[in-house]
């Protein structure tokens, strides 16, 4: 992972929604070290929606369970905008399949392979 070279256009703005602080800052630092501009990390649905009011990302990394709530409203908004996203959730595939908005969305699982995450986010941003 390297710093973006001077004058290079950043590969994209990435929204990060994750309620566990340590995981959130790990995601943030990995993505920003890979040259992405990170929006967030947000720890709740309200906070993520607030951030989305101000800026539209190119891609997003979402955890599904945020304390006692689910990230679904954020996913629905992103979907309606056509912003691609990827999940980084410890949830069961069967549980995720019950929500239409998460079906067919890749889940990188938890603990997340950060190298793979960067690759996936990069491919989403270049869509």
Partner 1 sequence: MMLEDLYRLLRTGHVQAQGVVDTMTQPIVVLDQSLCVSTANNAFLKTFKVERDDILGESFFDLGNGQWDITELRQLIAAVIPKAAAVIGYEVVHDFPTIGRRTFLVDARHLVHPDDNSTNILVLFDDVTETQRRDTEKDFIISETRHRMKNLFAVVRSLAMRMDAEALTGVDYRDRFLGRLEVTLHAQEIAAINETADFETLLRQSVSEPEMDRLHCEGPTVQIPGSRIVPISMMFHELATNALKYGALSVPKGALHIEWSLEDGSESRSYFVCRWREIGGPTVAPPKRRGYGTELIEGTCRHLGGTVELNFDPKGLAVIIKLPWKHL
Give the interface with partner 1 as residue ranges (CB under 8 A).
19-26, 41-44, 46-47, 50, 65-68, 90-92, 94-95, 109-112
Nearest-approach distance from CB 11 to partner 1, in angstroms:
23
Cβ proximity of 118 and 1 under 8 Å: yes
- For residue 88, the minimal CB distance to partner 1 (Å) is 9
Peptide bond into 12 cis (omega under 30): no
Cβ burial 13-28 (10 Å sphere, 16+ → b, else e) = bbbbbbbeeebbebbb
Whether 17 and 71 have beta carbons less than 8 Å apart is answered as yes
Q: Which is nearer to partner 1, 20 or 37 (CB)?
A: 20
CB of 93 to partner 1, least distance (A): 10
Nearer to partner 1, 24 or 120 (CB): 24
Q: Which is nearer to partner 1, 32 or 79 (CB)?
A: 32
């Amino acid at each position: 992972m390297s710093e973006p070279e001077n004058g290079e256009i950043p590969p994209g703005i990435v929204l990060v929604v994750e309620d566990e602080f340590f995981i959130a800052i790990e995601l943030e630092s990995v993505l920003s070290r890979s040259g992405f501009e990170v929006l967030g990390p947000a720890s709740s649905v309200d906070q993520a929606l607030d951030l989305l009011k101000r800026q539209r990302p190119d891609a997003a990394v979402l955890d599904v369970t945020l304390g006692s709530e689910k990230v679904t409203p954020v996913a629905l908004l992103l979907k309606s905008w056509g912003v691609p996203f990827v999940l980084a959730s410890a949830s069961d595939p069967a549980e995720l399949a019950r929500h239409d908005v998460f079906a067919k969305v890749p889940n990188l699982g938890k603990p997340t392979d950060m190298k793979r995450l960067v690759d996936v986010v990069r491919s989403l941003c270049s869509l």
